[in-house]
Structure 1
Amino acid sequence: MREYQLNTLKPGENYSAKELDSFVSTTDVILVSSNTSELFSDPDREYKVTMELDGCFEHSSTNGEKQFRNKRVYVVEKT
């Protein structure tokens, strides 16, 4: 098992929910998962990083503006 203190994720690699939880708690990133709200429900479940992006667009429902967030985004799927 890897050390929980990760400073980056690598596309194609698998990580446990425990490792991902530690990563997002200590790093300014966005984590996107098709596993809805169950991402951290099982700490031992494995997830594969399928994509890494430099940022994303966010739409404000308040003022209708779209803004690019220059923040690392990782897409993960449960394995």
Structure 2
Amino acid sequence: MTEKRLNTLKPGEHYTAQELDSFVSTTDVVLLSSNENQLFTEPDREYKVTMELDGFFEHSSEDGEKYFRDKKTYVVEKA
């Protein structure tokens, strides 16, 4: 069986945890999940991409400033 390599994720589409794992291993992205730290524990579990963002704000505890991180970000939830 040939494993497909993902270049991007599409909102509304479903992906397995294994596909998401491969994607984040080869792409500079942030993946947010409502499944806490269990996102990759079941490789065949499906997740739906609910949102795609161009970046996010992050607060620095070192200098107290907020910085926008220009990094593709996806929100996923268990399907």
Q: 1:10 to 1:2 in 2, by over 3 A?
A: farther
Residue 74 of structure 1 is matched in structure 2 by 74
Report if aligned partners of 1:4, 1:23 keep a CA contact under 8 Å in 2: no
Match of 2:21 in 1: 21
Q: Which residue of 2 aligns with 1:59?
A: 59
> RMSD of the alignment, in Å?
1.5
- Would you say how many aligned residue pairs link Structure 1 and Structure 2? 79
Structure 2 residue runs without a partner (length 5+): none
State the Cα distance separating 1:4 from its structure 2 match.
3.4
Structure 1 stretches of 4+ moved >6 Å: none
In 1, Cα distance between equivalents of 2:35 and 2:18: 15
Q: Equivalences for 1:39-58 in 2 at 5 Å?
A: 39-58=39-58
Which SS does the other structure have where 2:40 is aligned? coil
Q: TM-score, normalised by structure 1?
A: 0.95
Tell me which residue corresponds to 2:32. 32
Q: Percent identity?
A: 73
Farther-moved stretch of structure 1 (3-12 vs 39-48): 3-12
Which deviates more from structure 2 when the two are superposed, residues 7-16 or residues 60-69?
A: 60-69
- In the alignment, the residues of structure 2 paired with residue 2 and residue 76 of structure 1 have an alpha-carbon distance, to the nearest angstrom, of 24
Q: Per-residue deviation at 1:3?
A: 3.8
Unaligned runs of at least 5 residues, structure 1: none
